[in-house]
């Protein structure tokens, strides 16, 4: 097919010109997003292995669970949001449900199936969209800033600048700059910010590739055992929904539902605000399509035996690289499909190579802080709590919960209860209940 015809077709499907972008920019953005979230291909199977899932089969499941919803997000919702097995949710499934409570992993996947199905019903009845519309703009901007700090925090951890502290009074301590990986990541960050300063097209992706090259020269990139892997799908469809229909598992379903529901909500708002998709009234076009794909992705993740699949904050890396349409997501999805066969090659890219990209993207997302009205205490303090709690707890939903509860209480205390949308009262109460439980 002639190149001009392909470009015209892509422009018609994804409305590239209308969104002031190009096929080249979208492809670079997709590659950038994939590079920053490819770690899930190897981290998710290691976590789920604690629940008894076989490693090789879970690698294939993780790739397939991410590929299909991400492509659907690109083609149906037409947004540059990528999806994969949710970090945190997979750990709760493996260490709390399976190891802690003795629930078979097949039944644990049934729990994921049910919470995804419930969220899908909430999307189809437009309850989830209504809740997102009820959130005041000050809190929406705060969610974006909080996610930006979370991404940057993950980046500095991958860079080795901060490490877990031994003292219970400290969260982190300085990493050692005599460590090769720390030096590689630091050099990569310097390269990336220089490329950004020169406004070079594809600066973030180029920074990842150059940092990986430095890592290879420094000896922190290991040679893959093989170039090609044969996918193992024998755990596909092994999900016990009937076994999850027990009174003893209701609390687990609720916990997964609350976390999945608001993690995605925060990611969509934060990344959407960074990309300029959110209007002045706080609305996002085709929002229900995004939420439908995301909710069905949780169901799909359980069918793949890959834990709950959710929208990834690393999508911000692609947006930072210029991604503005669903073509970015389709590119990410195609990379995940290729990873089914080339996972060993993808696995050689070290965390130190993607750390600079996460730090830079975190900085870019911080710009939304200027829209928060700090002269209004009842608006600014809840926003501050969201910004503070998201990175400190490494939990988007917990940060949102603290902010929502504080916002509702402050408005009530100041006699401005009419300023609060009725759904905010309901959601704040649900968060309070979930925190107590």
Is residue 424 a part of any domain in this protein?
no
Residue 416 lies in a domain: no
Expressed as residue numbers, the domain containing 246 is: 13-368
The structure tokens listed for 429 are 């109460």
Count the neighbouring beta carbons within 10 Å of the beta carbon of residue 185.
30
Contact 162, 182 (CB under 8 A): no
φ/ψ of 73, rounded to 5, equals -60, -40
Q: Tell me the DSSP string of 188-244.
A: HHHHHHHHHHTT-TTHHHHHHHHHHHHHHHHT-SPPPS-S------TTTT---TGGG
- Please report whether residue 254 resides in a domain: yes
Instruction: Give the chain's domain count.
Output: 1
Query: Contact 353/211 with Cβ under 8 angstroms?
Result: yes
Per-position DSSP letters for 134-200, written without gaps between them? HS-HHHHHHHHHHHHHHHHHHHHHHHTSEEE-SSTT-SEEEPPTTSHHHHHHHHHHHHHHHHHHTT-
Does residue 374 lie in a domain region?
no
430 with 413: CB under 8 angstroms?
Answer: no
Cα separation, 331 vs 346, in Å, equals 15
Asked whether residue 7 is domain-assigned, the answer is: no
Residue 426 domain-assigned (yes or no): no
Confirm whether 227 is domain-assigned: yes
Residue 29 maps to a domain: yes
User: For the chain, what percentages of helix, strand and coil (3-state, to nearest 5) are there?
Assistant: 70, 5, 25
Burial of 302 (0-12, 13-18, 19+ CB in 10 A): buried
Per-residue pLDDT of the chain (437 residues; tens, 9 = 90+): 566 688 888 989 999 999 999 999 999 999 999 999 998 998 899 889 989 999 899 999 999 999 999 999 999 999 999 999 988 788 889 988 998 889 999 999 999 999 999 999 999 999 999 998 899 999 999 998 998 898 898 889 889 998 765 555 555 566 677 889 999 999 999 999 999 999 887 889 899 999 999 999 999 887 777 788 889 999 999 999 999 999 889 888 988 888 888 888 889 999 999 899 988 878 899 999 999 999 999 999 999 999 999 999 899 999 999 999 999 999 999 999 999 999 888 888 888 998 999 999 889 888 889 989 999 999 999 999 999 999 988 888 889 999 999 999 999 999 999 999 999 999 999 999 888 87
């Amino acid at each position: 097919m002639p190149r001009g015809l392909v470009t015209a077709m892509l422009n018609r499907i994804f409305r590239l010109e209308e969104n002031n972008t190009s096929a080249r920019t979208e492809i670079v953005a997709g590659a950038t997003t994939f590079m920053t979230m490819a770690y899930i291909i190897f981290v998710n199977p290691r976590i789920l292995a604690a629940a008894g899932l076989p490693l090789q089969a879970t690698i294939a499941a993780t790739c397939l669970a991410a590929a299909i919803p991400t492509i659907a997000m690109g083609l149906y919702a037409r947004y540059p949001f990528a999806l994969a097995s949710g970090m945190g949710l997979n750990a709760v499934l493996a260490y709390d449900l399976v190891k802690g409570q003795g629930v078979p992993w097949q039944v644990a996947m049934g729990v994921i199936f049910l919470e995804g199905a419930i969220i899908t019903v909430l999307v189809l009845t437009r309850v989830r969209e209504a809740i997102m519309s009820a959130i005041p703009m000050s809190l929406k901007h705060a969610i974006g800033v909080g996610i930006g700090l979370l991404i940057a925090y993950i980046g500095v951890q991958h860079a080795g600048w901060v490490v877990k502290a031994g003292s219970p009074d400290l969260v982190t301590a300085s990493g050692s700059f005599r460590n090769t990986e720390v030096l590689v990541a630091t050099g990569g960050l310097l390269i990336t910010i220089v490329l950004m300063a020169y406004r070079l097209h594809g600066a973030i992706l180029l920074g990842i590739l150059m940092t990986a090259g430095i890592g290879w020269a420094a000896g922190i990139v290991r040679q893959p055992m093989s170039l090609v892997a044969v996918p193992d799908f024998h755990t596909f469809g092994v999900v016990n929904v009937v076994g999850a229909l027990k009174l003893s598992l209701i609390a687990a379903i609720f916990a997964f539902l609350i976390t999945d529901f608001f993690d995605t909500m925060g990611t969509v708002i934060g990344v959407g605000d960074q990309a300029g998709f959110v209007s002045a009234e706080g609305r996002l076009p085709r929002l229900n399509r995004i939420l439908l794909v995301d909710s069905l992705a949780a169901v799909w993740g359980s069918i793949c035996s890959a834990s709950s699949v959710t929208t990834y904050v690393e999508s911000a890396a692609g947006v930072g690289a210029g991604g503005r349409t669903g073509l970015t997501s389709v590119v990410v999805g195609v990379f995940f499909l290729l990873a089914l066969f080339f996972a060993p090659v993808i696995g050689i890219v070290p965390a130190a190579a993607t750390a600079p990209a996460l730090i830079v993207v975190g900085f870019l997302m911080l710009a939304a802080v200027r829209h928060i009205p700090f002269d209004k205490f009842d608006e600014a303090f809840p926003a501050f709590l969201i910004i503070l709690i998201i990175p400190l707890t490494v939990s988007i939903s917990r940060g949102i919960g603290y902010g929502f509860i504080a916002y509702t209480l402050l408005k009530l205390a100041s006699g401005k209860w009419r300023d609060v949308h009725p759904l905010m009262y309901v959601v704040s109460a649900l968060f309070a209940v979930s925190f107590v439980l």
